[in-house]
Structure 1
Amino acid sequence: MGRRVFLSVLGTGFYNKCSYVDAQKQFKSVPTRFIQEATMEALGVEKWSERDAVYIFTTEKARQENWDKTSQVRSRYGAGEEPYIRLEQVLEEKHYAAKIEGVDIPDGLNTEEMWKVFEAMYNKLEDGDRLYIELTHGFRYLPMMILVLCQYASFMKKASICSLTYGNFEAIDRQANEAPLMDLSALTMLQGLTMGAAEFEKFGKMGSISDMFMQSASNKAERKLFQSLRSEATAMDESLATCRGLELQNGSHAVDLQKTLQQLQALGFSAPMGSLFSKMQSQLNGFGINGAQNLRAAIEWCIQYGMTQQGYTLCQESIITLLCEHFKDLNPFADKEDKKISNFRDYMSSIMAISRKDVEDESKWKGYLKQYVDLTRQLLNSDVIKKARGSYAPLSANRNQINHAGFIKPKSSKELCNNLNANAKNCLDAVCPLFATEITNDSDNEKPKLLLNLSNHPYSVWEEKQREAAIIYGPCVDMDFPKVRPEMSNEEFDKLIADYEQIILKYAADYIVTVHIMGEMTFCFRLISRLQAKGIQCIASCAERNVVEQGNERIKSVYNFTRFREYGA
């Protein structure tokens, strides 16, 4: 862990003694002329070690008037001299273990001197320092410079701001001779949020801004929501960055993010944070429970935020996925359980990739195209494939350009970005409307499907095989499995089950719900019975248990997902 470092600029004024108190009046300093002494007392610098440091920055005049211990008197505004112990001696008499140093800085009266001030401060910092900043005195630009300096140091030296304070002597209680010691940590949080918001606005990254939100949590409930937000935002960022098509098609990360943001907005945070919540949520509006629309929203996200390589990969693979879904009843590999998906994808890719001149010349058809010649003709003559093929070919060529780093027949980055925008739109316009019934049909038989995962294993940690098997149940939304305490009364247990039943029934009003439920057995049995009575399907994961010996008579159980099985009615 890095050093603890106290930073403060010393002023030139003739300071009167007073005590400084925090907002809750839980701390009261010794009477002192110097806010630095009071703040260091509040921070517990007496417990710091010899590896920690205190840097007091002084101009020539500040050193003479308020630092140099060789002088013991001072004139008060032209009056006679009186005893006046300078800060250097005050701190020396504390016998702190931490190193204390007065650091000379110029007055900063021009740009050149301001840079010298910045350099003098920055050069005192080391990698990983934890900064405790006091902002009361010095020229008015200096507190701003220190804030900018610390933000710069957080990038260059991985420093962190642990405390930011201001001694408000102007608000002194004359009768008690007490002045407020103000905590300005909210400024650092706002500065961090501003940078996180800029990163989100420019690059579409939500993880950084979510990290900054954690600092504003004032209770356990808020902290839990912010932890959820950070986890969901990071998962969303990673899904986009690594082109996790199934996760993006499922939409669970985006849906969970929207739900958490709604809960946070309902708590009534300050305007800056509330506006950021709203901004994040508006950017997620394209995602929902429609798998095709989720893929489209993910591709549009990549285009908007300059994730060109991910955009090409997601667009090309999404088009193939959606076409396979649309034509699944024509799948010639349906009897090959282990390869029916991969083989059909390869076949559909060949359909989309065949050149225009070869479409009419069947002698050029090879592989699956020739093996299933009648189906090939049927697919090539379908309206949707005709509409999509023209824009799909450039997607494929440009994706290869990127994957081969532009060493073969290179194109400019601008051309690649522009082509993605145009061709992706054309392909998605052709294919996505085929799946509009997922969200537009009102009849009970055509409601969209939704899988509720009520277990201790969130969808994000499911193995690929389990996710593929879950597609038939629709997008997946995680539900927290409750803690069923052994000492829970029957009344409490009944209420818990009823609460979960109501949550699930709300989903069932709009979706064809399947509940994946696994956990504490009495809870599962009671809830499953009630849900099945309402016509809601409940399923469990079936897995093979393999025992792996790890030596020293230890064994490890490895579970490999096999299938989903419905609970018996």
Structure 2
Amino acid sequence: MGNGSQLVAFSSIGKGDYKEAEYFAQESGSCRTRFFSVAVAYLFKPERLFLAVTSEVKNDENYLRMKQELEDRGLSGIVKEIVIPPGRSEEELWKIFDLVSEAIPERARVIFDITHGFRSLPFVFLGVVNYLGLTKAVRLERIVYGAFEAKEEREGDIPRAPIFDLTMLVELQDWLQAVNAFMLRGEGQRLAELLDEAHRRPWRSRAQEDLPDKLQKMAGNIKQFSDSVRLLRPLEALGAAARVQKLLPEVKKEAERWAKPFGYILSRIDQELSPLATEQADTLTQENLERQLALIDYYLQKDLVVQAVLLARECMVNWLAWRVREPNWRKQEVRAGVLEAVLNAAASNQTAMGAKRPGSEELEKEKEGLSKKKEEILQRFNSWPEAKKAADLWHRLRELRNDVAHCAFRDSVASPEAVKKNAKELKQELNALLEQESSGGNDA
């Protein structure tokens, strides 16, 4: 509804021996007919009814009688027939795909009837409509089935047959796509929307007791986690991960009732977010650093390599702040003017020594320009046994970061494969650096 989108129905008919029944849907009323396509047009009131028929069925008595019944009910004007091949080969299936794709208008809302017709056609039509959801903004709104086999016999009258609403299959597909996006790429927007709707729906109807209480809160935290991850807000991401994980046990019961597809992935979400979760993300501790490194792993697993590289470079600065117990580790002037300056000076020293070029005078001048705090930290840094490895790691992290951040607009750039490979290798070296220091305690 909304946005002026057209409501259309898609149905088909075969050569079966169809019997008359009173088809009924609780919210839409009932319709007495032999052909469920007529009930679809009468009860759901689409603006257009697409009828898919083969050439053989088009001349069958069933189709002729159905057309007459639609005309008798004043519904013939909404009917558009689509003559399709039987679908017995791949070539014919692609032909059906083309015919249906051309017929359904852009942004249409589709009611899909899977009752009659050749048994494989519903799967073909469903696939086409899902594809059109991406290419023409078509939305599959409802799936219906006229369940004649579930009829209720009535003495002296035609049987009464329920209309099964299989719309949950549409919703399940939405859930699957949303869960897939979150688990594969960390995109939580659609998953959050579905959770929010699952929370709001029972509250709108208030038809049941024990209404959901935590689903909406979970939706908000998943969205915050996803946005923070993708926009490189690591501390916010770690805090949101902790809130999501804390909510999981409370949400479990509500998910089983109101958001069943979400309930099935709770354990996977718990496994993914457990290494990231911390309720003290703003405090620089060994645990916090471990969580930041785990977030780099998360990025690499999701193939978010740019985020992994940029965060790895910042984690090196955080590592130095932790080693020297710097309380103002988030302040820009401290990060750039002290911590990064120390690492840059150490890396320059290592580069000069490695190349065995003269440069000690320049290095001395650089040191003279450092503040007392920079000089003190640099002296302490150079006294550490791991100083050379750390300086070399910073140099390579800085180069990789610049390569990525400047979009390869440089004289010499790494290939995409090399960027991925280097990112993984440097992440392992960061791990080793933290493990080495945590085993001996940080520098007082």
| TM-score of the pair, normalised by structure 2 | 0.81
Pair 1:425-2:419 in alignment: no
Pair 1:203-2:185 in alignment: yes
Could you tell me which of 214, 234, 237 is aligned with 2:223?
234
Could you tell me which of 164, 173, 179 is aligned with 2:152?
173
Q: Match for residue 241 of structure 2? A: 254
Higher strand share: 1
Sort the Cα spacing of 1:7 and 1:215 in 2 relative to 1 into closer, same or farther, 3 A: farther
Distance 2:212 2:390 in 1: 47
CA contact (8 A) 1:268 1:274 kept: yes
Per the alignment, in what secondary structure is the counterpart of residue 37 of structure 1?
helix
1:235-274 alpha-carbon deviations (Å, 9 max, x no partner): 22222222124423xx221122223333222336287542
Aligned residues: 409
Q: Match for residue 58 of structure 2? A: 63
Sort the Cα spacing of 1:413 and 1:380 in 2 relative to 1 into closer, same or farther, 3 A: same
Q: Match for residue 298 of structure 1? A: 295
1:438-490 alpha-carbon deviations (Å, 9 max, x no partner): 9xxxxxxxxxxxxxxxxxxxxxxxxxxxxxxxxxxxxxxxxxxxxxxxxxxxx
Q: Match for residue 282 of structure 2? A: none
Q: Match for residue 451 of structure 1? A: none
Q: Match for residue 546 of structure 1? A: none
1:271-306 alpha-carbon deviations (Å, 9 max, x no partner): 754222221221111122242233122111111111
Unmatched 5+ residue regions in structure 1? Answer: 70-85, 439-569
Sort the Cα spacing of 1:29 and 1:367 in 2 relative to 1 into closer, same or farther, 3 A: same
2:271 is aligned with what amino acid? Answer: S
2:219 is aligned with what amino acid? Answer: R
C-alpha displacement at 1:212, in angstroms? 4.2
Q: Match for residue 390 of structure 2? A: 388
Unmatched 5+ residue regions in structure 2? Answer: 204-209, 279-286
Pair 1:152-2:131 in alignment: yes
Sort the Cα spacing of 1:168 and 1:329 in 2 relative to 1 into closer, same or farther, 3 A: closer
Distance 2:177 2:293 in 1: 28
1:127-177 alpha-carbon deviations (Å, 9 max, x no partner): 211111111111111111122112111111111111111111112112371
Q: Match for residue 37 of structure 1? A: 38
| TM-score of the pair, normalised by structure 1 | 0.65
2:297 is aligned with what amino acid? Answer: E
Identity score, percent: 20
Q: Match for residue 284 of structure 1? A: 273
More relative contact order in 1 or in 2 (CA 8 Å, sep 6+)? Answer: 2
Distance 2:12 2:404 in 1: 52
1:490-521 alpha-carbon deviations (Å, 9 max, x no partner): xxxxxxxxxxxxxxxxxxxxxxxxxxxxxxxx
CA contact (8 A) 1:150 1:159 kept: yes
Pair 1:164-2:162 in alignment: no
Pair 1:9-2:12 in alignment: yes
Distance 1:436 1:91 in 2: 81
Pair 1:315-2:312 in alignment: yes
Distance 2:399 2:202 in 1: 53
2:181 is aligned with what amino acid? Answer: E
Distance 2:253 2:353 in 1: 57
Distance 1:97 1:351 in 2: 82
Could you tell me which of 198, 202, 217 is aligned with 1:219?
202
Sort the Cα spacing of 1:244 and 1:151 in 2 relative to 1 into closer, same or farther, 3 A: same
C-alpha displacement at 1:222, in angstroms? 6.6
C-alpha displacement at 1:352, in angstroms? 5.3
Sort the Cα spacing of 1:358 and 1:374 in 2 relative to 1 into closer, same or farther, 3 A: farther
Pair 1:53-2:48 in alignment: yes
Per the alignment, in what secondary structure is the counterpart of residue 265 of structure 2?
helix
Per the alignment, in what secondary structure is the counterpart of residue 396 of structure 2?
helix
CA contact (8 A) 1:34 1:87 kept: yes
1:387-466 residue pairs with structure 2 within 5 A?
387-407=389-409, 408-431=411-434
2:251 is aligned with what amino acid? Answer: L
C-alpha displacement at 1:97, in angstroms? 9.9
